[in-house]
Structure 1
């Protein structure tokens, strides 16, 4: 790959004269896939900048390393800011749109977001319409690349901007709809990856994540709660009602059955020291011939320690992990720690009495 010229990677607030920087960027773009007939003959700065922006789609490819692309885009941004303010609207919005529409792999998302965040801060303070549209594009990037967690702008800042930019009710609705979709995209992915991972059995922490909270009430969130709290039969009832959703969501029904059988076994074992083979066969909906291999697989998860008594046809539970840690579990832990502290205090007092 051709090295990016020094003038092309200048900071957003470039002190380099626009003409040499324009020529360097134009040459660089032609070297990296821009149309050879790129119209750079105009003496009008705005026209030349717009010609550069139109050709970005040919240049923004995954052959570019993210760092190189970010420096290049910041250099283009510095040129845009030289355009007279009364002509700035179109190049700014076209540049923002070009970044959103650049067909790049998911890993380029955080880089896109950083560039667009810079753009919001450097366009003129009174350019409220432009700032709002850039913010929408930024959130769309976060949705498309599933990286809303990399956005450095918090919800409180967004609320301040909405007020400062005098955003309409319709625009606020559009903004929050896009934010919801961006959170849903990462929440969806987070849940699906965890359910599909054969080594992940504890998922209650996902319910505390903000992107996952945004999905409450939707099928994917209901499915997650089944994997956190419920039994095999609950999953089967959900599947019977939501079969199209399961088949289109990226999770696999057969793998779900395997994991839910193991999670159901662990849940039952939390409160029982012994389980008969008949109970396991009924609850896990497996044949008697499959019980031994099922128990072996359960032990392999390291979520449970148990042993089989073939003569008595039962499983003896030694220890299990908690599938979920609820408020009641925290209360119980607090009570145990307080009792432990009290006992230590009493022991210390007895030692002190004996020592004297």
Structure 2
């Protein structure tokens, strides 16, 4: 990627031009270059570079100024001082005062990120700031595509980001994706975050585990949650109300939730969950569980099990089918639902055994078909009647 400069001149003159421009826009900076060298010059320039944010300068002028700082940064010899300069620059750009300037800062950060060598660890900090800024302007998906791609990119550094750094980044990503209404991706990121903890340090992820469970329970598009119970930080919460509530949403039916709610109404309210939304989700989960063992169900059974009025049954079934978690045909005249397929709420030993039995049956059937076809091939030809 090309790195554009403020003016196509050598670094020394470029630094002087930067000082002059910042002075013109009201920054408190001397026009004289520092006798301590280029790094000190950059330190002073970066310290006041955000002065242009409060001026009447155009986006193009501000972007040109910031890009010029990038072009000087990348020619400074790599070292601790260079990293501190890049960190200071990122800190300034993270505080863009408006959506308009946020877009400018994100482009400049993207330029800096790609201009730095892939082996430099400081790229982690640039990427972290990119996530911060992109979240502020609702552009996070222009920076983050998947956890795997992010890891592949950042792990090229020598050394790669530490576990603690990745946890900090994943935590920021989760918050950013949630605030930008990307709940599915946020859930995946949180699961990835919790997966970085071991049995020894699972207690440190207590708050993250709480947030993960609450976000999953509250997300209207998340229904399958049994995988959360296997995460070590979530296991650490066993015996607490939040873990009991998760277990209900994983394996129990609507009456189980209603019993829990009647005993812990204040707890449900305190964690920010909506009771009516919980009931809607538990009705669907209960319906899924019923469909696992019943190929057909009457409206009466659905009405009784899901605590619905007679008038609400058809509407519920239609909404359930829209989720595509259950495939079924509704017969209004017979007042029955005929189940074709259903997504299992949990996938444990019993489900693996059922899958194995199904595959064994297929294998046996295919073997019989093969034998029949072979018999046809080996059969003697019957002479044609003349």
Structure 2 partner of 1:227 = 223
Report the alpha carbon displacement of residue 345 of structure 1 after superposing the two structures with TM. Answer: 1.6
Contact 1:80–1:88, Cα closer than 8 Å, also in 2:
yes
Structure 1 partner of 2:168 = 178
Paired residue total: 309
Structure 1 partner of 2:89 = 95
> Quick check: 1:121 aligned with 2:117?
yes
> Quick check: 1:281 aligned with 2:281?
no
- Report the Cα distance in structure 1 between the residues aligned to 2:106 and 2:158, rounded to whole angstroms: 22
3-state SS of the aligned residue for 1:319?
strand
- Report the Cα distance in structure 2 between the residues aligned to 1:320 and 1:102, rounded to whole angstroms: 51
3-state SS of the aligned residue for 1:264?
helix
Structure 1 partner of 2:367 = 342
> Quick check: 1:214 aligned with 2:193?
yes
Q: How does 1:132-143 map to 2 (within 5 A)?
A: 135-136=124-125, 138-139=127-128, 141-142=130-131
Per the alignment, do residues 292 and 93 of structure 1 end up closer, same or farther by CA in structure 2, a change over 3 Å counting?
closer
Report the alpha carbon displacement of residue 222 of structure 1 after superposing the two structures with TM. Answer: 3.6
Contact 1:143–1:186, Cα closer than 8 Å, also in 2:
yes
3-state SS of the aligned residue for 1:306?
strand
Q: Aligned-residue CA RMSD in angstroms?
A: 4.9
Per the alignment, do residues 279 and 222 of structure 1 end up closer, same or farther by CA in structure 2, a change over 3 Å counting?
farther
Contact 1:274–1:315, Cα closer than 8 Å, also in 2:
yes
Report the alpha carbon displacement of residue 355 of structure 1 after superposing the two structures with TM. Answer: 6.7
- Report the TM-score, using the length of structure 2 for normalisation: 0.58
Q: Residue 331 of structure 1 is aligned with which of 352, 356, 360?
A: 356
Report the alpha carbon displacement of residue 268 of structure 1 after superposing the two structures with TM. Answer: 1.4
Per the alignment, do residues 157 and 222 of structure 1 end up closer, same or farther by CA in structure 2, a change over 3 Å counting?
same
Write the deviation string for residues 220-269 of structure 1: whole angstroms up to 9, x where unpaired.
Answer: 5445388214444455567647424652xxx7543443343234323311
For structure 2, the 5+ residue unaligned runs are 196-205, 225-249, 382-386
Contact 1:274–1:316, Cα closer than 8 Å, also in 2:
yes
- Report the Cα distance in structure 2 between the residues aligned to 1:343 and 1:292, rounded to whole angstroms: 43
Report the alpha carbon displacement of residue 21 of structure 1 after superposing the two structures with TM. Answer: 3.4
For structure 1, the 5+ residue unaligned runs are 1-6, 126-130, 163-171, 195-204
Bigger relative contact order, structure 1 or 2, given CA contacts below 8 A and separation 6+?
A: 1
Structure 1 partner of 2:320 = 298
- Report the Cα distance in structure 2 between the residues aligned to 1:35 and 1:237, rounded to whole angstroms: 65
Contact 2:329–2:339, Cα closer than 8 Å, also in 1:
yes
> Quick check: 1:322 aligned with 2:329?
no
Per the alignment, do residues 83 and 192 of structure 1 end up closer, same or farther by CA in structure 2, a change over 3 Å counting?
closer
